[in-house]
Amino acid sequence: MRSPRKRPWPFIVWISILSVGFILLCIISFIVITHVKRRPGEDVPVRSIPNSPFSASIPDDERLIRYRPVAQPTPIAHVPIPQHPFMASNAGNNMHNDAYMSDTYEASGPLGIAPRVRSRTQGFGGYGTITYDRAGRLVAVYSNGRGFQLELMDPYTLQELASYDLPSRPWYFLLQGVMPWEYIGAGIYFYLDHEDRAVIPTTINTVQIVQVPRPGSDEGFKLIREYDLAEYVVPMPWPKQDSVAWVLPDWSGAYYWFATTQGVVGTIERETGTVRTIRLQGELIENSFAVGEEGVFILSDRALYRFSQNGHGEIITDWRLEYDRGRQKKPGVITRGSGASVTLVGGLDGFVVITDNAEPRIRLLFVRRSDGAVVCSQPLFQEGRSATDISVIGFEHADANGRGKGVYSVIVENNWGRHFFPIARPEPGITRVDLIRHEDGSYTCKTIWSSNERHFGVFKLSLGNGLLYLYFRMGSPPNPRWYLSALDFATGETVYRVLVGTGLGYDNWAGSLFLHPDGGIAYATTIFGLVMIQDAAVP
């Protein structure tokens, strides 16, 4: 028997849906545009993110769910990520921690020992990147979608110690077609350098170098220098705008590398300010790049590149690898093409790791750093429901003497899903894949484990305790519960979950997790601020 055809929704239903969406957009726009920030230096008490009215109904045994004991950390023997000489410590100098964008930490994250939760809110808005200065204080860029502010915070109380206003997006920013929660410019990806200076791309296509105040001083943030890149971006018809979104230093420290969303790649000579650029014609850049000793690795929506400069800032294309960008943009990702930021694993003889956008399953690609050759690829997740929009986690294992074993571990999350702000519905899927070198020099990929856990955002791995950290909700409105979950890196088994909060304010919406170098502390960015989860053993 032929199944009955589904009747199309009446025209009035579509009009109603569009009307509700327009009203929600107007409300969000009003909140963002009229959001009032306090004056820099103004001493304001820390306000906590409110829980939903139904939070008290959650029983105690659902506030800390422990699946197995974890009293002691289990460190992972690994080859240390090289410390970039012109970036702050690898304890956390950018969104993805280090120059290799490994998303790994030497420090131990929370073990779930009588965890305590603290939060901070200024209303609608959150933090894209959190870094740590030499004193361990938080240096972060806050945004409500239109306004942006550099902030210095106490790592334990989340009290603001200093702030610095950055250029805002124009009043007509919603007409540019990029929603507040999708915008990737204006310091969302900034980095902290070796002298505790924040290097920040701004909404007006400049790069600001801002000095962080010294501990114990009455100083505020200080603008040291500003490079104007407005004439080097791609001109676009009003109201659209190309954006300088990423800046990183080369290994010599003489140049900054930068990239724009419309495919401009450039260098800035640090001393003179001289700028040189090339254009990746017909290509977009939507993900952060990595920098190694030999150059930078940049991923467009069509190809992976390694660029270097000739000592005078002139850009050389060392190699280009075109990958399978798929037939269309998949549900749950920003653009067609790879959704992953670039990750480097191993040393100069190691690999660049990305994902493609192939059908019916995306593939994890291990690409040789030296020549751009793919040595191994591994399909990921369920057919027809496979996508990622987040950087992978990656590192090389070490033997008892600290030497590389030729085994490289990568963890990938599945972001395929029907997302409508502020509710994300990713498909389940966290997968660990190892690249293994054989005695004859060949390589094979092997899936070590797959988990049905969900995550929507930048997840992190603690090499100090062997736990992988995720942040996602359980339950549904009006009382969604947001949990920090820890998975065993070796097995993929869930170790514990700790309730962070309930309600919309604790929604991370593709935000990032961060681990503090003192150990036992994790931070989660949300659409209404910042959350800290801390083991009770940490003072």
pLDDT tens-digit map of 208-257: 999 999 998 889 999 999 999 999 999 988 888 899 999 999 999 999 99
- With a pLDDT cut of 70, the percent of the chain lying above it is 88
Specify the pLDDT at position 208. Answer: 98
Residue 457 forms part of a structural domain: yes
What are the DSSP calls for 201-253, one per residue?
Answer: E-TTSEEEEEEPPPTT-----EEEEEEE-GGGSPP--TT----EEEEEE-TTS
pLDDT for 4 beyond 90: no
Instruction: Say if residue 80 is preceded by a cis peptide, omega within 30 of 0.
Output: no
Confidence of residue 435 (pLDDT cuts 50, 70, 90): very high
Which residues, 6 or more positions from 452, have their beta carbon under 8 angstroms from its beta carbon? 428, 429
Query: What is the tally of structural domains in the chain?
Result: 1
Q: What is the CATH number of the domain that holds 486?
A: 2.140.10.10
Q: Considering the domain boundaries, does residue 267 fall inside one? A: yes
pLDDT at residue 516 above 50? yes
Strand order of the β-sheet with 255-260 is 244-249, 255-260, 264-269, 275-279
Residue 17 has pLDDT above 60, yes or no: no
Establish if 11 belongs to a structural domain.
no
Q: Per-residue pLDDT for 206 more than 90? A: yes
Report residue 8's pLDDT band, with 50, 70 and 90 as the boundaries. low
58 within some domain: no
Amino acid identity for residue 537 in this structure: A
Establish if 293 belongs to a structural domain. Answer: yes
For residue range 454-499, what is the model confidence (pLDDT) as tens digits? 888 899 999 999 999 999 988 877 788 999 999 999 999 999 999 9
Query: What is the tens place of the pLDDT at every residue in 355-390?
Result: 999 999 999 999 999 999 999 999 999 998 988 888
Write down the pLDDT at residue 330: 84
Confidence of residue 10 (pLDDT cuts 50, 70, 90): low
In a domain, 77, yes or no: yes
Q: Establish if 2 belongs to a structural domain.
A: no
> What pLDDT does 181 receive?
61
State the pLDDT at residue 43: 63
Judged against a pLDDT cut of 60, whether residue 13 lies above it is answered with no
> Residue 256: which domain range?
65-534
Mean pLDDT of 2-11: 49
The structure's pTM equals: 0.90
pLDDT averaged over every residue in the chain: 89
Q: How far, in whole angstroms, is CA 103 from its chain's centroid? A: 9
Enter the tokens of residue 349.
Answer: 């003889």
Q: Are strands 104-105 and 460-462 parallel, antiparallel or unpaired?
A: parallel
Helix, strand, coil % over all residues of the chain, rounded to 5: 5, 40, 55
Q: Please give the average per-residue pLDDT across 263-276, as a whole number.
A: 97
Compute the CA torsion angle 37, 39, 41, 42 (nearest 10 deg).
-80
Tell me what pLDDT residue 424 has: 73
pLDDT digits (tens, 9 = 90+) for 162-201: 999 999 887 777 776 666 666 676 778 999 999 999 999 9
Under the banding of pLDDT at 50, 70 and 90, the label for residue 71 is low
Q: Does position 72 have pLDDT exceeding 70, yes or no?
A: yes
Looking at the domain assignment, is residue 54 inside a domain?
A: no
pLDDT, residue 182, reads: 67
**pLDDT tens per residue across span 386-430:** 888 889 999 999 998 989 999 999 999 998 886 667 777 778 999
Q: Describe the strand order of the beta sheet including 138-143 as a list of residue ranges.
A: 126-132, 138-143, 148-153, 160-166
- Assigned token pair, 21: 């969406």
pLDDT at 392: 96
| Number of Cβ atoms within 10 Å of the Cβ of 239 | 12
Rg value, the chain, Cα: 22
Position 35 scores a pLDDT of 45
Question: How does residue 339 score in pLDDT terms, banded at 50, 70 and 90?
Answer: confident
